[in-house]
A and B are shown apart, each in its own frame.
Chain A
């Protein structure tokens, strides 16, 4: 008897028991279930939830691998062991040493994120007696990419439990959540342990342990430097290729764009949301540039550093692009209507840059803006739908009159 058929037999055996959902989750992970639908016509489509999730993960893998190399690279660069890499294919970037230290720090984050998150999912599936849902697969991959590389693992585990339980399960599990769980996890970390989520010590592996010693190293993010009106040591190509300090997976704009193309091509990510987010960010950037040009804000102001950033550069500093591509497009928490998507995305971009500039304590406003708009997405949809209803009613009246 093959493994496949013995699994099918086991499934029959455990049917109706408490552990059945946990077993089924592992079973369908390996093989197609041996079930056929029984009556009526059904839509046959290959893009089920699992496929959808897998494509997003596929689009995230380049960012993850790059994140590992970058973690090692920033570490050695800050220590002064290697030369700075010039450009994406720089000789000192894609080295085995970088990968080893990067994998050593990043893979535990991935393991904790998946282990704890799926553990909570399994627990809830068993308690509530439903099948384990695939929703956490993407969240689990996003979480390690949006945290600083040196975040202590127990903090990450606490945040994942909080994010999955409060952000998702209390609302009824996958597909019912109001807030993006990955961002809920990040928000929890940000407010609970701010010293580990911001400042100039957390973005480079090893910086925290060395703080205060003669070997101290620092790696301020570009946004952090701008917020303090300091000059930035990286040029635009560094920012675009992503060889800069930052959260694990959000630095490389190049790979995020590739991920975005995968998502748009497979129609899993909404291009409307991505485009409108970028438009929103650019227009807020233009407004700030206009304010600076008009002379209302001079270089004595604490907002000057970020306000005077040329508007297009807002897209390559910070994580607005990562947020727009992987976070804002989450089909559960985003607006559902096409017109709603434009409004939703535009406001995310608009507010991201606004928070970024006006609140130096939160230089990365993207996650706050997305969470805020997650809350408003159903309201936007409601008014879009009602607007449509009203328009058609009017048309009906004209016809009958």
Chain B
């Protein structure tokens, strides 16, 4: 008997693989395209969503029996908005540069479909602990894709990882740049993020044929 029962563990592992919010449910694409040009931004965005979704799911789950169903969307919005404001303020206070990079997309976590989707589909019908696990699982699934995309985009687009130039200096022509390699400017544009997400989906579905829809 581990820390989690098998059923609970599935809440975390499923969204990481076969029920990934980005590659399978195709939710939260906008932010995945917009902020993944840098790995650091992807990671912070992942953490921000992890916080918002984890806490939000618990809050909604605790209130699930007293929220009138007619106004539940508004209640959910207020919960997300408050949490997002907390994240935004913390970033502004402790990581101002990063907060400028992420700009409007922190605020737009409010409209991230994954969050409202989990509130509606899970937190309204399950207890706080299971909702918490579900939130963490989905946010991790989101973050994993963001980090994969961010890894390739920053590595091939800027030749660095977390801002650290791993491929050498592009201007001084050191490292791989000395033999004529150049950064791929297309990687820094959002369309390339869409293509990378597409490739991830391709790989995932060719490994698991059950995921292919007709």
Which A residues lie at the B interface, using CB under 8 A? 152, 154-155, 158, 166, 170, 188, 191-196
Contacts and interface: CB of A to CB of B under 8 A. Distances in A.
Contact of B185 (A152, A154, A170, A191): A191
A192 B184 CA distance: 5
Interface in B187-202: 187, 189, 195, 198, 202
B192 to A, nearest CB: 8
A154 B180 contact: yes
A196 B184 CA distance: 11
B182 interface: yes
B185 A194 contact: yes
B96 interface: no
B182 A193 contact: yes
A188 B180 contact: no
Interface residues of B, number: 11
Contacts, number: 23
B186 interface: yes
Nearest to A195: B182
Contacts of B184: 158, 192-193
B186 A152 contact: no
B185 A192 contact: yes
Contacts of A158: 184
Nearest to A190: B186
Nearest to B180: A152
Contacts of B195: 166
B189 A191 contact: yes
A155 B189 contact: no
Contacts of B189: 191
Contact of A188 (B182, B186, B198, B202): B186
5 contacts: A154-B180, A191-B189, A192-B187, A193-B185, A195-B182
Nearest to B157: A192
A192 B186 contact: yes
Contacts of A192: 184-187
B155 to A, nearest CB: 14
Contacts of B185: 191-194
Contacts of A188: 186
A194 B187 CA distance: 12
B164 to A, nearest CB: 22
A90 to B, nearest CB: 35
B106 to A, nearest CB: 28
Nearest to B181: A154
Contacts of B202: 170
A191 B182 contact: no
A188 B185 CA distance: 10
A351 B124 CA distance: 51
A362 to B, nearest CB: 14
Contacts of B180: 152, 154
B152 to A, nearest CB: 13
Contacts of B187: 192
Top 9 closest pairs, chain A to chain B, by CB: A192-B186, A191-B186, A192-B184, A192-B185, A152-B180, A193-B182, A194-B185, A166-B195, A191-B185
Contacts of A193: 182, 184-185
Interface centre among A155, A158, A191 (most CB of B within 10 A): A191
